[in-house]
Structure 1
Amino acid sequence: MKNVAEFTLIGRIGKITAGESVTRLSIASNYRRKGKDGAWADDTHWNQVVVFSEGARKYIADHVAQGDLVMARGRVRQSSYDKDGETRYGVDLVCTDFGLLAAKQPATDEDEETA
């Protein structure tokens, strides 16, 4: 039996940082929570995802922009590194499947009037 540690995110792109061999995506996911006053509110969480696949990196560079709704799926990988003589630990979300669900819609005059 295969053991897995996987993630699936659906959210909006905040920031895209492309390096030589990796693209880093900041993806916002919203959760509903009930406050102490009983009112429901959005609780936004920013997830940092890394993409190594050359094909996915090219697709992101050519077709994805800030505010777009995307789906990212992949594996969870623990990591560690030394800094100033201290070992630091982290968790990487390594994207193995990526898709653009909807492009960000431009604001309309009606949207601006209600804001």
Structure 2
Amino acid sequence: MTDGLNKVILMGNLGADPELRYTGNGTPVLQLRMATNESFVDKNKEPKERTEWHNIVLWGSRAEALAKVLTKGDGVLIEGGLRTSSYEKDGIRRYRTEVIARDLRFTGRRSMAQPPPGLEDDSDATQPGAELPAAATARLGNGKSGARGRPPEVPVLDELPY
């Protein structure tokens, strides 16, 4: 018998901060609410937008790590499979469909009107030699990112050796 294919790929924004919980045996479970938007033109030639909400679940050590960095508004790409469960509430059988995520990729923030924490400084840190805020410097570290507190020097295109 041939196996089926249960694969979902979604790209959207988190509608709320993630919720990290643990099962009875201590396994981490991360629950996310994700919104995907669709723009279309209706039969009256009016532009419309529709938002779909998705329940996303991540399991294991990756769930713990992602709980520390994901926040409301983050853009993400999720790859996983659908799982539907049922339960009874007030004598009525209800169903819940979730995406069990196997992979999560960052796609950026929904808008840069709200900069990431630590980058609220008004100075233009994109200019070579400009000082970065202390929080950003701590994230960059001292590796190949240039002198401490400065972004790496970017060569002018005319100076490239090839």
Q: Which of the five TM-score ranges fits, normalised by the shorter chain?
A: 0.7 to 0.9
- Which residue of 2 is the match for residue 71 of structure 1? 77
For 1:93 and 1:68, the matched residues in 2 are separated by 18
For 1:80 and 1:2, the matched residues in 2 are separated by 24
Which letter maps to 1:18?
L
- Which residue of 2 is the match for residue 99 of structure 1? 105
Identity %: 25
Which letter maps to 2:39?
R
- Which residue of 2 is the match for residue 13 of structure 1? 14
Q: With CA pairs under 8 Å and 6+ residues apart, which has the higher RCO, 1 or 2?
A: 1
- Which residue of 1 is the match for residue 160 of structure 2? none
More strand by share: 1
Correspondence 1:27 to 2:29:
no
Aligned residues: 107
Partner SS for 1:60:
helix
- Which residue of 1 is the match for residue 135 of structure 2? none
For 2:71 and 2:58, the matched residues in 1 are separated by 15
How far does residue 86 in structure 1 lie from its aligned partner after superposition?
4.4
Does the 8 Å contact 2:30/2:67 carry over to 1?
no
How far does residue 84 in structure 1 lie from its aligned partner after superposition?
4.2
For 1:36 and 1:82, the matched residues in 2 are separated by 39
User: Map of 1:78-93 to 2, 5 A cutoff?
Assistant: 78-93=84-99
Does the 8 Å contact 2:75/2:106 carry over to 1?
yes
How far does residue 106 in structure 1 lie from its aligned partner after superposition?
3.4
For 1:92 and 1:64, the matched residues in 2 are separated by 19
For 1:39 and 1:31, the matched residues in 2 are separated by 14
How far does residue 94 in structure 1 lie from its aligned partner after superposition?
0.7
Q: Which runs of 5+ in 2 are unaligned?
A: 23-27, 115-162
For the pair shown, the structure with the greater C-alpha radius of gyration is 2
How far does residue 104 in structure 1 lie from its aligned partner after superposition?
4.4
Q: Which runs of 5+ in 1 are unaligned?
A: 109-115
Partner SS for 1:25:
strand
> Superposition RMSD on alpha carbons, in Å?
2.0
Does the 8 Å contact 1:64/1:100 carry over to 2?
no
For 1:39 and 1:85, the matched residues in 2 are separated by 42
